[in-house]
Chain A
Amino acid sequence: MSVWNIAWRNLRSRPIQSWLTVTVVAIGLALGLSMFLISQGLREGLARVTQPYDLIIGAKGSPTQLVLSSLFLQDKPGHNLTFDFYASLLGDKRVAQAIPLAMGDSAAGYWVVGTNQEYFNLTARPGGPPVWRLAEGRFFERPFEAVLGAQVARKLGLKPGDRLPSSHGLVADLEEGKNQPNEEESGGQTGIDDHHRSFPYAVVGILQPTFGPGDQGIYVDRRSYWEIHAHDREVNDLPGLEGKEPGGITAVLVKPTSYTAAYQLYQEINAGPVAQVVFPAQVVTKLFDFLGQAETLLEGISLVVLFLATLSIIISLYSAALERRRDLAVLRALGASRATLMKIVLVEAALVASLGSLLGVALAHILAQILSWLIYDGSALHITTRFLPEELGVTLGIVVLGLVAGLLPAIRAYRSEVAKNLVL
C-alpha cells in the first residue's frame, strides 16, 4: 500500500477534522483570490469603457463626477455648458470631432442621453469597428425617437415601436432607492411630471450589448431635450441660449486632431473659467488608486486567514500525529522507516493544502462570478473573471505552505517511539 494511499485513508478516517482544515484553507484563498479577480476584471472593464473617448469636456466641477455621469451613467450630471462654448469647440481646428451629450432626464429609471448620430460611430481604437451596433431597428433620425441600450431593452421588455415616457432626473428610481436624482436642480420637481409625460419617446432601435455601462442608457436626439426643456428655458432663461441653436449640453466628447492638440485644449480650457477638460483614462486611474487601497486591505485580511489556515493544518496534523501514536508505531513495527512516517504526514499536509486550494480557486471564481453579476446588474459594467496565470502560482504556493505546515507534525511522527506506543 502506497504512502499516498495511507495518507489519504488517514485523512478520511477523521473526516470532520480534515474537512474543517480544507475549508479554512479554501476560505482563506477564496477571500483573497476573488477580490483579486474582481479588481483585475474591474480594471479591465473600466479601462475598456474609456477606450472610445479621448477627452471629455464639461462644466467646471468634479472630474470624477463628469466621467461617472457621462461615461458610466452612474452619477448625476453637473451643470450645463453654454452653446457658445460648444460652437467654439466645433470651430476649433484642433478638434476633429465633438459629440454633444445632453443629460439629466430619465425614463423608467434609466438615464436619457441626448446626442447626435455621430455618437454611434465611436470606435474603441482608430479604424476599429464601431462600439455601438444595432440589434434591432434603426438609429434615431428625429427628436423623440429613442435607441435603447441592451440592458434597458431587456429589463423593460421593450422593442421598436413601443413608447416610453421621460422625466427630468432619475425620478422613477427615487421610489426604488436605486440612484440619485437631481430634482433640486430642476426646482424641486418630484415624480414624473405632466410636462415631460406629454413627450413620450418612440423606441426605434435596440443596441447590441457592449457589456459596459452604456447598455443602461437610452439614446435620443439631442433636440428632444431642447424641446422638452423649452419650459425650463422660459423660466430660467439660461444664459447664452437666446435665439441660438438648441443648447442644454452637459458634456462634449472630443476627439482631438493630435496628441499635442489634446494637451493644448486641456491646458487652455482648464485655465479658463467656463469648463474643464478631462482625460477619462486619467480619472479611471485615480479610481484604480482608490481600488488599490481596498485591495491592500483585502490582501492583508486574506493573508491573515491564510496564516490561520496554516496554523490549522499544523494543529490538525500535529494532534492527529499525537492521537495516532499507536498507529504510527504499528507502521514502524511493520517495517516502515521513520522517513516513511514523515512522508505520510507530509503527504497528508500536501493533500489537505491541495484540496483546500482547489476548492478555494473554485470558490473564488464562484464568488467573483456572483459579484460580477451583481456589478453588471447595477452598472452594466461587465467584468470577465477568467483564469489568471497567477492562480497556478498561488495554488502551488498554498501546497508549499501546506508542506511547511506539515513539517512540525511530520517531525513529531518521525520522532515517535515504537516500543512504548505499541502497548498503548
Chain B
Amino acid sequence: MRDSELLAETEGELGEARPPLTTLVRLERVEKEFPGPDGKAVQALAPIDLEIARREQVALAGPSGSGKSTLLNILAGIILPSRGRVWVNGVAVDSLSESARDRFRGRSIGYVYQNFNLLSGFTALENVLLAMGFSRAGQKGHFQRAGELLERVGLGHRLRHRPAQLSSGEQQRVAIARALANQPPLLLADEPTASLDFWTGRMILELLLEVSYQAGATLVVASHDRDLLTRFGRVVEVGQLQQGSRKVLTNSVLSG
C-alpha cells in the first residue's frame, strides 16, 4: 500500500481535520491507560496535545514512568491511544487497522532503542536489510543502500559483523542505519544513549542529529538526560502536568 492509499484510508469524516502539510506530527488530547493489576485503569500517559513540524528535532523530557516511551510507541503505531487523535505524515494512525499500522510503521517510522534491539543471528548489513524487507519487498539495490547507510554511520568496515562482535556504540550505529533504511519521515529514539558511556553517548546523539537532518527526517528523542536535552531547539516535557494541560519548554526556559 502506498502513502496515498494510506491517506485515502483515513479520508472521509477525518479528512477535513487533517493537519497542514508543514506539520508532520499532530496529537490531540492523546492519553493512554493500561489495565492495572486490580482491574482499575492506570494512566501511562497524561493527555497531551502536540504538534511537530517537518524536519524539526524535538526532545521529550520527563522522569522514567512519565510516558515518554508510551508516547513514542503511539507515534509509531505500536500501541493505540486510549483517547485522542494521532496524525503522522497526514495519516490518522489511531484509525488504522493493525496490519495497516504495521505497513505504516515499516514505511514511515525509524525507531532507535535504548537496548539497540538488533537481531543477534544477523550481521550488521542483514539487520539493515531486514528493515527494508518489510516495507518495500523485492526492491533492487537494497544491498547497496544498506551498505551506504552503514558507511554513513561509520561502519563501512563492519558490514559482516554480528551484533555480539560489535561494541555497544557500534551496535547503536547499526540501529541508526537500520532506522534510516526506508527513508522514513519520522525518526524516533527512546533513550538512545542510556546504555552507552558518556562520550559514546555524545557521539551517538550527534550522529542522530546529523543523519536525521541530512535525510530530511523529523527527529523525536525521548531522554531523561538533562545534559542531552541542551542539544535540542525544542524540549517537550511529558507527563508531569495535570490532565488537559500542555507545556512546551524551550531551551532558554530549561537553562534559565
Contact between B73 and A419, CB atoms less than 8 A apart: yes
Given contacts A13-B121, A327-B119, A422-B117, contact A337 B130 (CB under 8 A): no
- CB of B168, distance to nearest CB on chain A (Å): 16
Q: Does A335 contact B (CB under 8 A)?
A: yes
The residues of A that contact B133 with a CB separation of less than 8 Å are: 1-2, 6
Interface members, chain B 97-144 (any A CB < 8 Å): 98-99, 102-103, 105-107, 111, 113-115, 117-122, 126, 129-135, 137
CA distance A6 to B111 in the complex (A): 20
CA distance A335 to B121 in the complex (A): 19
CA distance A424 to B116 in the complex (A): 11
Partner of B78, one of A326, A333, A336: A333
Contact between B134 and A335, CB atoms less than 8 A apart: yes
Q: Does B69 contact A (CB under 8 A)?
A: yes
CA distance A337 to B77 in the complex (A): 12
Contact between B113 and A422, CB atoms less than 8 A apart: yes
Q: Does A338 contact B (CB under 8 A)?
A: yes
Q: Does A12 contact B (CB under 8 A)?
A: yes
The residues of A that contact B113 with a CB separation of less than 8 Å are: 422-423
Contact between A336 and B134, CB atoms less than 8 A apart: yes
Contact between B117 and A332, CB atoms less than 8 A apart: no
Contact between B98 and A333, CB atoms less than 8 A apart: no
The residues of A that contact B103 with a CB separation of less than 8 Å are: 335, 337
Residue among A9, A12, A419 with most chain B CB within 10 A:
A419
CA distance A7 to B178 in the complex (A): 20
Contact between B121 and A9, CB atoms less than 8 A apart: yes
CA distance A330 to B121 in the complex (A): 13
Given contacts A1-B126, A1-B130, A335-B102, contact A330 B78 (CB under 8 A): no
Q: Does B211 contact A (CB under 8 A)?
A: no
Partner of B76, one of A6, A12, A333: A333
How many pairs of A and B residues are in contact by the CB < 8 Å rule? 73
Contact between A334 and B69, CB atoms less than 8 A apart: no
The residues of B that contact A64 with a CB separation of less than 8 Å are: none
The residues of B that contact A362 with a CB separation of less than 8 Å are: none
- CB of A321, distance to nearest CB on chain B (Å): 14
Contact between B69 and A336, CB atoms less than 8 A apart: no
The residues of A that contact B6 with a CB separation of less than 8 Å are: none
CA distance A335 to B111 in the complex (A): 11
Q: Does A340 contact B (CB under 8 A)?
A: yes
Contact between B99 and A334, CB atoms less than 8 A apart: no
CA distance A338 to B98 in the complex (A): 9
Contact between A6 and B69, CB atoms less than 8 A apart: no
Q: Does A294 contact B (CB under 8 A)?
A: no
The residues of B that contact A335 with a CB separation of less than 8 Å are: 102-103, 105-107, 131, 134-135
Given contacts A9-B121, A340-B134, A423-B69, contact A334 B106 (CB under 8 A): yes
CA distance A339 to B129 in the complex (A): 20
The residues of A that contact B132 with a CB separation of less than 8 Å are: 1
Q: Does A418 contact B (CB under 8 A)?
A: yes
Interface members, chain A 12-30 (any B CB < 8 Å): 12-13
Proximity bits, B136-160, A CB within 8 Å = 1, else 0: 0100000000000000000000000
User: Would you give 28 A-B contacts (Cβ < 8 Å), ordered by A?
Assistant: A1-B126, A1-B130, A1-B132, A1-B133, A2-B137, A12-B121, A13-B120, A330-B118, A333-B78, A333-B117, A334-B134, A335-B102, A335-B103, A335-B131, A335-B134, A335-B135, A336-B134, A337-B99, A337-B103, A338-B98, A338-B99, A340-B134, A418-B78, A419-B78, A419-B79, A422-B78, A422-B113, A423-B69
Chain A residues within CB distance 8 Å of chain B: 1-2, 6, 9-10, 12-13, 326-327, 329-340, 418-419, 422-424
A13-B121, A333-B76, A334-B178 given; name 4 further pairs at CB < 8 Å: A9-B126, A333-B78, A334-B106, A335-B106
